Every structure is written in structure tokens, then in C-alpha cells.
């Protein structure tokens, strides 16, 4: 049996090891491929649009390279260790299968080598490299003095965005100028949330009773998706937002237009809509500056028509999207604090026409 | 090497005093650690499959974008209960079950140190399990996440009874865990067979010592955190309410002060199992025994200094977080020591590829990934990106599912022959293993990528345009494969009850004491108490020497030979395991189940805020425990 087993093991070892290595390489290529291929569509942390996100993504690739090296090495040892003198699974009856003390004394030296080099030396070196990089990246995330200050209040389940120095309030849409250091102050008067824009920086929790800060410098213009990352109740999944990175001039223009009161209704249908908003329950929760609507529970609608999405990135802000939101509120976002309001089709059309005109 | 002939009259009498009462009465009154252990394992596995089913429903929901299988609130209940059940009602108790069954047998004792407390601990677990399951029946399962962060879980944001099931249930099941931990520690310190000196304690027993101490220091934190939560909810206190001078962050600190050690509380016994199996199937003494025991203790200790790595995004001062980041790196070193000891054992051995060994090897393949990603998430800046994403879901499933469930399945294949007397099918076992291994990696591997692509945890739906759909579909298919693999083992167990080959005392030619007795062992475990002369008593120096039962030869007994008189087990000194005296082992009793029933009534009273029910429960507990403490142990049959 002994003679039968050992050559078989020796025979199998090489192809098996090679096959595993090959499949490992295939797996790694697949992972890297998936990460870069999907990144165009996904808000991927590895597709950084800021120095902060880039540094973290560099740290990831360093750790990934080390991980692959460690994994391949260690698993190679596992495979060799398991295969080098393997036996059949059944009860061991061969004469030399017994546990022998003599052989084990010899093995002790090998054991100690594994423990010292693999158990202590290897992890200390690898962890040392990662620890040094961790400290360096952590330090570099502390951005310079911010030029743009934004307050974000996390609500159930949307984001109030305000620019305290400019008197601008909006929702679920953070406008920032490109290439400038931005500081966001995060507050919550309800539950814990977490602000996360993977392409701009790591996340920061929003905790009642505390103020946290997030800083980043967006490196290029564009629209980057963010989402609440801390479970916050029934509609945690639909608490997204977008960050719109624009040139300084566009940003200034946006601030300027956002400072103005809501535009007055023009057409008869819009006027009917304005009337409905002021007299139905809409006004109890929403503000439209310059009108009777002064509620503060829901998003400010003064310039809702200029926003790109509705209901925290649940719907595109088109007339169709607005109609859907008004007619199927609790289907689009079950549990949303905005109730389903009983309106006729004509009333919905009027309100939609009015709100969409609020550019 | 004196083998002892035990006169059959003595044998019969010993068997008589150890026998349980027949029938249903025996079922409720037994204090036999083996029956309780198996019961623990069976009950836990029922919860395992319930929680697994919940996971499959979640995967059905997430298989495609904008899934419509369940709604938002149902989904939130699903993931809350999946996590809660897996942690509190499967992982923790199933390991308690294996420990219960194996520790006394492995150390040559006839039962746990406190058999009635042991029964109590099991019935408390059943009570708490039913208590939490009741929420399903009522359609009001907890929905605040398994971590139940405040203020989401306070009365303002979660007015329903849902969260009370969680808050009370967690404190409830904590009683069982704590009581069990005390029992393990005392058992292993004081009930070891003569000669099992401190450097001959099997690694599995050491792992239960480490686990026991961790439980004693960690569980009070979650008991306090959920007690304060319930005080806020039921009595209107403001421990966690910022407006009332409380702190929402305080909850997170308390929760994770338990929560991180808990991961190692689950992992360390699994390490003990894997080390045991690798040693047996490598046919050589365990490499680096002292190193491994030291590493277990090191992990147990360091695990109390890493909890803030769950809170890196909460805005604590960077310097403070640096400490926890460093500690989280350092804990990788004892893990690496353990890993190298496994490789070393196999390197010097002659490995047999049995099903349990395959599960141990599967553990090595999976745990290394979980360990490496663990180091990654210990890195503060990287964690800020991946925390609360699917990367974390992947990471902790590699640790808690891969590195705990795989050893548990291996342990089923390894020790079930001891428990039932019959072998499982190797063929079906290998099918099960490979299906689980592939299914596991297809399920949890792609989650790493999803997290990096920006997918947060705990979302019941996602849009098609985010590039997450393909991987989610792969994951959902993988989860079916994994589930199929686990069911093959269930089928295997059922099959083996009738058709499995007879195991015999020692089917694996293993080294530890449980294999020196029959399969299944007699009620008294060992008719004559074994005397231990090495770390691997069945391998060196030869057949296990048995002590002479006391009433056979009193002369030998006075020379230090401890047998055991009837329903007793020897007590030995902590370090040298020299015989000190014998203790009577408590007899079967209805009091543990009665006291546990009282506790259950008490918690139901809390749940529905009914003073009368509370009082009844309190009186039953008080009466049960007083009677229990009052009766002397001499009145056994």
C-alpha cells in the first residue's frame, strides 16, 4: 500500500498544483476585469474622481497585490503539506502509518521554522508595510482649509443640502466647484445615517447629537452618485443623492439662481397647480419661497424643477417622473413620510406643471 | 500499563445510577451532557436552516434589479432575523453543543462540572429561541438590523413590539451563554482526568477555556446595551437619547465591545475543532501546541481592543482610531501562528483525505481569505470606503460562515460516529463538501467586488443602471448551490442512522480520550476513569491506562489511583491534575427546565408589560432555583 500510494501522490501533485495556479490566475484576472469593466456604470471606489478616493484606491491595490502574493504562497504550502505524503482516506493499516515519536522529533525543527517565519516574520513584514501606508494615506486625507462649506442634514429618507454662506437650500443634490476643497458638515435630528460618495471619499456617519465632517477635492466635473450607507429604516435603500461637480463659473451661476424666490406661475394650469400646492397638504411639509408653502418637514421645492432627480434619486425629474411620484408615492418609495395624496388626474397634471416650472 | 477488569456487578451498578429516567420524563429531566450537547446541536441546526431560508429569500429579492419578491419592511425583517438567528441561535449554541458533548469526554470526565446548570442553559436557549421566533408567528419580527443601532431602534422610530423581541431576546439568550461559559471553565480547570496536566489539555478544550473567558467579559456589555435599550423603550429613560443628555454612540461602543470579541468567541472553538481534525488525519502530534494555545489566548485578549474598527466612520478622533487600527493588525499575528501550526502538522504528517479533513482544508482555503480581508478592513482609510458595503458582507461571511460553519460541518462528519455509533457516507460527504465549497465561493466571493463597486449593505433593492445586476445574479445562484450542499449533509445524517457502517470505538485512529470509550459512549462516559500520560493519550505511550474503580480496590485508591464511586467524577488539581477528591454528579431533575420556564414567562411579561405575568415568572424562577439549591445531592437513587 505504501509503495502504491506515494508514487500516485507524487504523480498527481504537479498537474494539480498547476491547475490550481491557473484557476487562481484566471480568478484574479476576472476580479480585476470585473472591477475595471463595471466601473464605468457603477459608483466604484476604484474609479476615483478625487485625490482622496485615488489614494484609498492606491492603498487597495497595494493591499490586493500583497494579498495575492501571501495567498498564493500560503496555499501552495497548504497543498504541498497535504499532498506530499498523503494516504487513502480509509482506516490506515499500513505498517509505516503508525504515529512515531522518532520522526516527530525530527519534524519539530520544521514546525518551528513554519511558526517563526510564517507565523511571525511574514505577518510582521506584510502588516508593517500596510500599517505604514495606512498612516500615510490617513494623514493625506486631512484636506487643506476648505473654501466651500456645505451643511448636510440627513433626514428620513432624504438629504437636506444647504450652503450657509449663500442662503441656498436644496435637496438630494450637492453642487460643488471642481478642484476646490469642500467641507461638508453632517448632522441628523433623527437616526444614524452615513454619507458616501465612493468616487470622492470614504464615508462618514451622520449621528444625532454629533457633527461630523467630510472633506474632498473633486478632480473633474461630472455627476457622481452617493447613497446612505448606514441602515436607517424602511427606505434605507432609496436614500441616494448626486454630487454635481461643476466649474467655478457654473457653480456660481447655480448659487445665484438658487438664491432667488420661486418663479411665479405663468400658465393657467401652473396657476392651478400653485393654488393646489398652497391649499392642500403639500404646503404643510414643503417650502416654496415666495408662496404660502413654508413647511420644513420635506425637501425645499423652491427650485425643484431644476433638480435632476426626485425622491432621493428614485425617479428622474421629468414630468412623467413627477406624475409617478404624485400618483404612486408609496409604491415608488414604500414607507416614505410623504403620504399618498388623493388627487384627480387633472390636479396631478397641474401640480406637475407648476413644480416642473420651478427652475 | 495495568488494564483493569471491572467485575460485572460493579459495572451494572454504575450503569444503573447513571441511567436517565425513561420516556418523556427522562427527556425533560436529563442532565447528561451528551444528551444536552446533541440537543443543542439539533436545535441550533433547526435555526441554521431557518436563517438560511431567510437568506435565500433575500437572494431571490436581490437576484435582479428592482426585485419584487418582498417589500422593504419584509426585507429589513429578513436580514435582521438572518443575522440575529445565525449569531445568537445557531453559531453560539451549536458550538456550546459540541463543547458540551466533547469537552467532558475529551478530558476524561463523566459530566460537566454543573450538570443541572447545563440543562438550565440549554432550556434557556430553547426559551429564548422560541421567544424570538414568536415574533415571526406574529408577523412582527425585529427590523432594526441585527446590531439594532439607536435611535432607529428607540420607541420614536420603532414604535412596534418588533424591537422588544430583539432587545429582550438578546439579554435572554445571554443568560444561557454566560452560564455555559462558567460551566466550561470550571469543567476544564477541575474535572480533567488524572494526569492531564496543563500541557496535556487537548487544544479543543483550551479553545473552550478561551471562549469561556471571552464570554464572561464580553456578554455583560451586550446585556447592558440591550437592557439600557429596553429601559429607553419601555420606561422612557434617556440613556441613548442625545436630547436627554444620552449618547447614541454609547450604544455602538457597548454593542461592539461585545460584538467584536463575539466573532472570536465563535471562531476560537472552530479553531479547536480544525486543529483536532488536522492532527488526527495527519497522523502525527500537533505542531506548535504551546504556540497554538498561546495564540488562542492572545486572540482572546487582543479581541477586546479592536471594537472601534466597527466605528471608523463615526468621526472619533483619528489618534484614538489609530490604536484600534493597530490592534486589529496585530491580531493577525496569532492567527498566522495558528495557521502555520496547521501547515506544520500536515507537513510532518501523512494526511488522509477523509471528509472531515476536506472540511478542515476548505476552512484553510476560506479562512485565509477572510483573514486577509480582515487585515484590509483594519486599515482605517480603506475601511472608510468599504464599511457598510458588500465587501464587509463578504469578509464576515468568509469568517463566520466559511471559517466557522465549515469546521462545524467537518465536526459533524468527525464526531457524529461517536455520537450515533454510525459512520456517515464518505461519498455523499465529499459531494456535500465540494458543493458547499464551490457554492460558498460563488456566493460570497463576488460580494467583495460588489462592495468596491459601491453597493451598500442592507438595501432591499437597487437600480439596473448601477452595474450590480450581473454579480447579484451570480451570487443568488451560488447561494442555491451552497444550500444544496448543506442539505446533502442532512441527507447523509438521515441515511447514516440506518445504513451507516458501525463506527466502533475509534474509527479515525484518533488521539484524544473520547475515542477510548464506546460509540455512543455509556451514560457514565468512562466506567473506569482514564489516566492520561501525554497530549495524545491514545497514541502515546500506548493503550490508555484506566484507573481502578474505587470500590474494586481501595488499597490502590489510597496510592493515588482515583476511580469513581458510582455517580461521581474525580476532581483534580488545576495545573498538575493530581487527584484531589470525587464529587457527586447531580441526578436528573425537573428543576432546570422549570426555572428556565420561569425565566421565559418573566421575559414574556416584560415584552407585554404585564406585571402579573412578570410576578408569576419571577416566582417560578425563585422557587425553582431555591429548591434546586436547597436539595442535597445525596438523595440520588
Rounded percentage of chain B residues whose pLDDT exceeds 90: 81
**Are A46 and A127 contained in the same domain?**
yes
Preceding peptide of B428 cis, ω within 30°: no
Q: Per the CB < 8 Å rule, is B340 touching A81?
A: no
Q: Residue A10 falls within a domain, yes or no?
A: no
pLDDT score for A215? 94
Whether the pLDDT of residue B446 is over 60: the answer is: yes
Would A27 be classed as within a structural domain? no
Most B CBs within 10 Å: which of A202, A228, A232, A243, as the mutation test of the B interface? A202
Nearest residue of B to residue A75 by CA position?
Answer: B365
**Residue A14 pLDDT > 80:** no
- Pick among B247, B314, B381, B459 to test the A interface (most A CBs inside 10 A): B381
pLDDT at position B536 over 50? yes
Judging contacts by C-beta atoms under 8 Å, the chain A residues touching residue B365 are 75, 78
A60, A134, A190 ranked by CB distance to B157: nearest = A190
Residue B11 reports pLDDT greater than 90 = no
Q: Report the pLDDT value the prediction gives residue A2, as an integer from 0 to 100.
A: 37
pLDDT for A8 beyond 60: no
Question: Region B131-140: what's the mean pLDDT?
Answer: 93
The closest CB to that of A141, out of B157, B364, B381, belongs to B381
- Does one domain contain both A163 and A84? no
- Pair A235, A305 in one domain: no
- Kindly tell me if the per-residue pLDDT of A227 is higher than 90: yes
Between B400 and B529, name the one with better pLDDT: B400
Answer whether residue A184 shows pLDDT above 90.
yes
Question: For residue A323, is pLDDT > 60?
Answer: yes
Query: Chain B interface, mutation test: which of A2, A20, A29, A45, most B Cβ atoms within 10 Å?
Result: A45
Q: What is the pLDDT of residue B172?
A: 96
Long-range contacts of residues A98-107, Cβ cutoff 8 Å, at least 24 apart: A98/B283, A99/B283, A99/B284, A99/B285, A99/B511, A99/B536, A99/B539, A99/B540, A101/B540, A103/B284, A103/B348, A104/B284, A104/B285, A104/B348, A107/B284, A107/B287, A107/B344, A107/B347, A107/B348
- A308 & A242 share domain: no
**Confidence at residue B567, expressed as pLDDT on a 0 to 100 scale:** 82
Q: Give A236's contacts in chain B (Cβ within 8 Å).
A: 76, 458-459
Is pLDDT larger for residue B375 or for residue B587?
Answer: B375
**pLDDT tens string B463-473:** 999 999 999 99
Read off the pLDDT of residues B550-606 as tens digits, 9 standing for 90 and up.
444 443 443 334 444 578 888 999 899 988 888 888 889 999 999 999 999 999 999
Q: What is the pTM of this model?
A: 0.93
CATH classification at residue A326: 2.60.40.420
Q: Is the peptide bond before A283 cis (omega within 30 degrees of 0)?
A: no
Give the model's pLDDT for residue B558: 39
Domain annotation covers residue A17: no
Chain segment B338-358, per-residue pLDDT in tens: 999 999 999 988 899 999 999
Residues A202 and A179 in one domain: yes
Suggest the residue from A9, A123, A334 to mutate for an interface test with chain B (most B CBs closer than 10 A): A123
Q: How many domains does chain A have?
A: 3
Q: Domain limits at A170? A: 148-259
pLDDT of residue A99: 57
> How do residues B597-630 score in pLDDT, each as one tens digit?
999 999 999 999 999 999 999 999 999 989 888 7
User: CA-nearest residue of chain A to B365?
Assistant: A75
Q: In the predicted model, what is the mean pLDDT of residues B231-249?
A: 93
Q: Which residues from chain B sit within 8 angstroms of residue A70, using beta carbons?
A: 372
Torsion angles phi and psi, residue B491, rounded to 5: -60, -40
Look at B288 and A43 and tell me if their CB atoms are within 8 Å.
no
Asked if residue A28 is part of any domain, the answer here is: no
Residue A21 inside a domain? The answer is no
- SS3 string of chain A? CHHHHHHHHHHHHHHHHHHHHHHHHHHHHHHHHHHHHHCCCCCCCCCCCCHHHHHHHHHHHHHHHHHHHHHHHHHHHHHHHHHCCCECCCCCCCHHHCCCHHHHHHHHHHHHHHHHHHHHHHHHHHHHHHHHHHHHHHHHHCCCCCCEEEEEEECCCCEEEEECCCCEEEECEEEEECCCEEEEEEEECCCCEEEECCCCCCCEEECCCCCEEEEEECCCCEEEEEEECCCCCCCHHHCEEEEEEECHHHHHHHHHHHHCCCCCCCCHHHHHHHHHHHHCCHHHHCECCCCCCECCCCCCCCCHHHCCEECCCCEECCHHHHHHHHHCHHHHCCCCCCCCCCCCHHHHHHHHHHHHHCC
User: What per-residue confidence (pLDDT) applies to A142?
Assistant: 74
Chain B residue nearest residue A63, CA to CA? B376
pLDDT tens for residues A77-89?
999 999 988 776 6
Q: A254 to chain B, minimum CA–CA distance in Å?
A: 27
Is the same domain home to A215 and A279?
no
Whether residue A20 lies inside any domain: the answer is: no
CB contact under 8 A, A208 and B242: yes
| Domain end among A239, A259, A279 | A259
Which residues in chain B touch residue A78, judged by CB atoms under 8 angstroms apart?
Answer: 342-343, 346, 361, 364-365
- Residue of A77, A112, A127 lying closest to B375 (CB–CB): A127
Question: Which of chain B's residues have a Cβ under 8 Å away from the Cβ of A71?
Answer: 368-369, 372
Distance from the B123 Cα atom to the nearest Cα atom in chain A, whole angstroms: 33
The tens digit of pLDDT for each residue in B147-204 reads 999 999 999 999 999 999 999 999 999 999 999 999 999 999 999 998 999 999 999 9
* pLDDT score of B81 more than 70: yes
A31·B449 Cβ contact <8 A: yes
What cell numbers appear for B570 in the block?
474525580
Give residue A90's pLDDT band: very low, low, confident or very high (50, 70, 90): low
Q: Quick check: A266 pLDDT over 80?
A: yes
CA distance A240 to chain B (A): 11
Contact B351 A85 (CB under 8 A): yes
Q: Are strands B568-572 and B579-584 parallel, antiparallel or unpaired?
A: antiparallel
Provide the mean pLDDT of chain B: 92
Q: Does A49 touch chain B (CB under 8 A)?
A: no
Q: Are B456 and A228 in contact (CB < 8 Å)?
A: yes
Instruction: Give the number of A-B residue pairs with CB atoms closer than 8 Å.
Output: 308
pLDDT attached to residue B560: 37
Interface of A with B in 142-161 (CB under 8 A): none
Query: Which residue, B547, B532, B583, B570, is CA-closest to B198?
Result: B532
Q: What whole-number distance in Å separates Cα of residue A216 and Cα of residue A245?
A: 12
Question: Is the per-residue pLDDT at A35 higher than 60?
Answer: no
Q: Which three cell numbers stand for residue B531?
A: 489516566
Residues of chain A above pLDDT 70, percent: 83
The reply to whether A69 touches chain B by the CB within 8 Å rule is: no
Q: Chain A: give the shortest CA distance to residue B621, in Å.
A: 37
Closest residue of chain A to B280, computed from CA coordinates = A99
| A171 falls within a domain | yes
Q: What is the pLDDT of residue B7?
A: 62
- Which residue of B144, B247, B471 is in closest CB contact with A209? B247
Please list every residue in chain B whose beta carbon sits closer than 8 Å to the beta carbon of residue A56.
Answer: 381-382, 384-385
The predicted structure's pLDDT at residue A114: 92
pLDDT computed for residue A102 by the predictor: 44
Query: What pLDDT does A110 receive?
Result: 82
Question: Mean pLDDT across the stretch B258-283?
Answer: 96
Given CB atoms, is A50 within the 8 Å cutoff of chain B? no
Give a yes or no: residue A25 inside a domain: no
Task: Band the pLDDT of B636: cuts 50, 70, 90.
Answer: very low
Share of chain A above pLDDT 90, in %: 73
Last residue of a domain, one of A235, A259, A283: A259
pLDDT of A20-31, one tens digit each?
556 666 666 666
Residue in chain B closest to A110 (alpha carbons) equals B344
Contact indicator for B620, B598 with CB cutoff of 8 Å = yes
Interface subset of A 207-266, CB within 8 angstroms of B: 207-210, 212-213, 225, 227-238
pLDDT above 80 for B319: yes
Please give the pLDDT value at position B348. 87
* Cβ pair A63:B471 closer than 8 A: no
| A234 contacts in chain B (CB < 8 Å) | 72-73, 76, 143
Please tell me the distance from the alpha carbon of residue A236 to that of residue A255, in angstroms, as a whole number.
29
CB of A137 less than 8 A from some CB of B: yes
Contact present, B322 and B294 (Cβ < 8 Å): no
Whole-number Å distance between alpha carbons of B192 and B595: 29
Task: Inform me whether the C-beta atom of residue A42 falls under 8 Å from chain B C-beta atoms.
Answer: yes
Q: What is the pLDDT of residue B110?
A: 92
Are A56 and B381 within 8 A, CB to CB?
yes
CA distance B550 to B177: 35
Q: What is the pLDDT of residues A132-160, one digit of tens each?
A: 999 999 988 876 688 999 999 999 999 99
Q: Tell me the chain A residues in contact with residue B449 when contact means C-beta distances shorter than 8 Å.
A: 31, 34-35, 38
Q: How many angstroms separate the CA atoms of B338 and B552, rounded?
A: 44
Q: What is the mean pLDDT of residues B34-57?
A: 97
What integer pLDDT is reported at residue A280 of this predicted model? Answer: 86
Tell me which residue has cell 421629468. Answer: A318
- Whether A326 and A231 share a structural domain: no
Q: Where a domain ends, among A242, A259, A276?
A: A259
For chain B, give the percent of residues with pLDDT over 70.
Answer: 94
pLDDT of residue A98: 54
- Do A196 and A238 sit in the same domain of this protein? yes
Residue-wise pLDDT for A107-134, tens only, equals: 678 888 899 999 999 999 999 999 999 9
Q: What is the pLDDT of residue A140?
A: 86
Q: Which pLDDT band holds residue A41 (cuts at 50, 70, 90)?
A: confident
For residue A191, the chain B residues in CB contact (below 8 A) are 149, 151-152, 157
Q: With beta carbons under 8 A apart, name residues in chain B contacting A204.
A: 313, 315, 384
- Chain B within 8 Å of A343 (Cβ-Cβ)? no
Note the pLDDT of residue A101: 47
Q: Which residues contact A90 (CB under 8 A, 6 or more apart)?
A: none
pLDDT tens by residue, B256-268: 999 999 999 999 9
Amino acid at each position: 500500500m505504501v509503495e502504491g500510494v506515494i508514487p500516485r501522490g507524487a504523480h498527481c501533485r504537479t498537474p494539480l498544483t498547476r491547475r490550481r495556479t491557473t484557476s487562481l490566475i484566471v480568478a484574479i484576472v476576472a476580479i480585476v476585469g470585473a472591477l475595471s469593466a463595471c466601473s464605468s456604470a457603477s459608483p466604484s471606489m476604484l474609479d476615483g474622481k478625487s485625490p482622496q478616493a485615488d489614494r484609498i484606491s492606491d492603498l487597495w491595490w497595494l493591499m490586493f497585490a500583497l494579498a495575492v502574493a501571501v495567498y498564493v504562497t500560503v496555499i501552495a504550502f497548504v497543498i504541498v503539506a497535504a499532498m506530499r505524503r498523503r494516504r487513502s482516506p480509509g482506516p490506515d493499516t499500513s505498517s509505516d502509518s503508525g504515529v512515531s515519536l522518532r520522526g516527530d522529533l525530527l519534524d519539530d525543527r520544521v514546525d518551528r521554522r513554519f511558526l517563526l517565519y510564517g507565523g511571525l516574520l511574514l505577518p510582521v513584514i506584510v502588516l508593517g508595510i500596510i500599517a505604514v501606508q495606512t498612516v500615510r494615506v490617513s494623514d493625506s486625507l486631512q484636506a487643506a482649509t476648505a473654501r466651500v462649506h456645505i451643511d448636510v442634514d440627513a433626514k428620513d429618507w432624504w438629504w437636506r443640502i444647504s450652503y450657509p454662506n449663500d442662503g441656498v437650500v436644496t435637496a438630494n443634490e450637492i453642487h460643488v466647484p471642481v478642484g476646490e476643497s469642500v467641507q461638508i458638515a453632517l448632522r441628523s435630528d433623527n437616526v444614524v445615517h452615513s454619507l458616501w460618495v465612493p468616487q470622492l471619499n470614504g464615508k462618514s456617519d451622520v449621528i444625532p447629537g454629533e457633527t461630523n465632517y467630510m472633506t474632498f477635492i473633486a478632480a473633474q466635473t461630472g455627476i457622481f452618485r452617493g447613497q446612505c450607507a448606514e441602515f436607517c429604516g424602511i427606505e434605507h435603500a432609496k436614500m441616494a443623492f448626486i454630487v454635481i461637480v461643476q466649474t467655478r463659473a457654473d457653480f456660481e451661476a447655480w448659487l445665484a439662481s438658487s438664491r432667488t424666490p420661486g418663479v411665479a406661475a405663468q400658465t393657467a394650469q401652473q396657476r392651478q397647480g400653485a393654488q393646489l400646492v398652497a391649499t392642500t397638504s403639500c404646503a404643510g411639509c414643503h417650502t416654496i419661497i415666495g408662496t404660502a408653502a413654508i413647511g420644513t418637514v420635506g425637501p425645499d421645492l423652491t427650485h425643484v424643477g431644476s433638480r435632476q432627480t426626485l425622491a432621493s434619486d428614485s425617479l428622474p425629474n421629468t414630468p412623467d417622473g413627477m406624475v409617478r411620484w404624485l400618483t404612486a408615492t408609496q409604491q415608488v418609495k414604500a414607507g416614505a413620510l410623504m403620504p399618498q395624496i388623493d388627487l384627480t388626474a387633472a390636479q396631478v397634471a397641474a401640480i406637475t406643471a407648476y413644480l416642473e416650472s420651478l427652475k | 500499563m495495568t488494564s483493569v477488569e471491572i467485575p460485572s456487578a460493579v459495572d451494572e451498578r454504575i450503569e444503573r445510577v447513571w441511567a436517565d429516567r425513561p420516556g418523556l420524563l427522562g427527556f425533560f429531566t436529563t442532565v447528561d451532557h451528551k444528551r444536552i450537547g446533541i440537543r443543542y446541536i439539533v436545535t441550533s441546526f433547526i435555526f441554521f436552516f431557518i436563517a438560511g431560508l431567510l437568506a435565500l429569500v433575500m437572494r431571490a429579492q436581490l437576484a435582479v434589479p428592482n426585485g419584487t419578491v418582498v417589500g422593504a419592511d419584509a426585507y429589513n425583517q429578513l436580514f435582521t432575523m438572518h443575522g440575529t438567528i445565525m449569531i445568537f441561535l445557531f453559531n453560539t449554541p451549536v458550538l456550546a453543543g459540541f463543547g458540551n458533548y466533547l469537552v467532558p469526554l475529551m478530558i476524561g470526565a463523566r459530566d460537566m462540572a454543573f450538570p443541572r446548570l447545563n440543562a438550565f442553559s440549554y432550556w434557556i436557549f430553547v426559551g429564548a429561541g422560541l421567544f424570538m421566533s414568536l415574533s415571526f408567528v406574529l408577523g412582527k419580527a425585529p427590523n432594526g438590523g441585527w446590531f439594532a443601532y439607536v435611535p432607529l431602534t428607540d420607541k420614536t422610530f420603532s414604535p412596534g413590539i418588533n424591537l422588544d423581541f430583539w432587545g429582550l431576546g438578546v439579554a435572554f439568550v445571554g443568560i444561557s451563554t454566560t452560564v455555559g461559559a462558567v460551566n466550561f471553565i470550571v469543567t476544564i480547570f477541575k474535572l480533567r482526568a488524572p494526569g492531564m496536566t496543563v500541557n496535556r489539555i487537548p487544544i479543543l478544550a483550551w479553545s473552550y477555556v478561551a471562549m469561556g473567558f471571552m464570554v464572561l467579559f464580553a456578554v455583560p456589555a451586550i446585556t447592558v446595551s440591550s437592557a439600557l435599550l429596553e429601559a429607553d423603550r419601555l420606561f422612557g429613560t434617556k440613556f441613548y437619547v442625545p436630547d436627554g443628555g444620552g449618547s447614541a454612540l454609547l450604544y455602538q461602543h457597548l454593542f461592539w465591545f461585545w460584538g467584536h470579541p463575539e466573532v472570536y468567541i465563535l471562531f476560537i472553538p472552530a479553531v479547536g475543532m480544525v486543529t483536532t481534525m488536522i492532527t488526527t488525519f495527519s497522523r502525527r502530534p500537533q505542531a506548535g501546541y504551546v504556540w497554538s494555545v498561546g495564540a488562542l489566548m492572545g486572540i482572546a485578549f487582543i479581541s477586546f481592543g479592536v471594537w472601534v474598527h466597527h466605528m471608523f466612520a463615526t468621526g472619533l478622533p483619528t489618534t484614538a482610531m489609530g490604536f484600534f487600527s493597530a490592534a486589529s493588525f496585530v491580531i493577525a499575528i496569532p492567527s498566522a501562528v495558528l495557521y502555520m501550526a496547521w501547515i506544520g502538522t500536515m507537513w510532518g504528517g501523512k494526511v488522509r483525505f477523509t471528509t472531515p479533513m476536506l472540511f478542515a482544508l476548505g476552512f484553510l482555503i476560506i479562512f485565509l481569505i477572510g483573514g486577509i480581508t480582515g487585515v484590509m478592513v483594519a486599515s482605517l482609510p480603506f475601511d472608510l470606503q468599504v464599511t457598510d458595503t458588500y465587501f464587509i458582507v463578504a469578509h464576515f461571511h468568509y469568517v463566520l460562515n466559511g471559517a466557522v460553519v465549515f469546521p462545524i460541518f467537518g465536526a459533524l462528519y468527525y464526531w457524529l460516529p461517536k455520537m450515533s455509533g454510525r459512520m456517515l457516507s464518505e461519498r455523499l460527504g465529499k459531494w456535500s463538501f465540494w458543493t458547499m465549497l464551490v457554492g460558498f465561493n460563488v456566493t460570497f466571493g463576488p460580494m467583495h467586488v460588489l462592495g468596491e463597486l459601491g453597493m451598500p449593505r442592507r438595501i432591499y433593492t437597487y437600480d439596473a443602471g448601477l452595474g450590480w445586476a450581473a454579480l447579484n445574479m451570480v451570487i443568488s445562484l451560488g447561494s442555491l448551490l451552497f444550500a444544496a450542499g448543506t442539505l446533502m449533509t442532512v441527507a447523509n445524517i438521515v441515511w447514516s442512522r440506518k445504513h451507516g457502517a458501525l463506527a466502533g470505538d475509534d474509527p479515525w485512529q484518533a488521539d484524544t480520550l473520547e475515542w477510548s470509550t464506546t460509540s455512543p459512549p455509556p451514560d457514565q462516559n468512562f466506567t473506569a476513569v482514564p489516566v492520561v500520560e501525554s497530549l495524545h493519550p491514545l497514541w502515546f505511550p500506548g493503550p490508555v491506562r484506566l484507573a481502578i474503580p474505587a470500590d474494586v480496590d481501595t488499597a490502590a485508591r489510597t496510592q493515588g489511583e482515583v476511580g469513581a464511586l458510582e455517580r461521581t467524577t474525580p476532581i483534580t488539581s488545576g495545573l498538575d491534575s493530581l487527584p484531589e477528591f470525587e464529587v457527586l454528579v447531580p441526578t436528573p431533575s425537573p428543576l432546570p427546565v422549570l426555572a428556565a420556564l420561569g425565566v421565559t414567562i418573566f421575559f414574556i411579561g416584560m415584552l407585554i408589560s404585564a406585571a402579573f405575568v412578570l410576578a408569576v415568572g419571577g416566582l417560578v424562577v425563585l422557587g425553582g432555583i431555591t429548591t434546586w439549591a436547597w436539595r442535597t445531592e445525596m438523595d440520588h437513587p
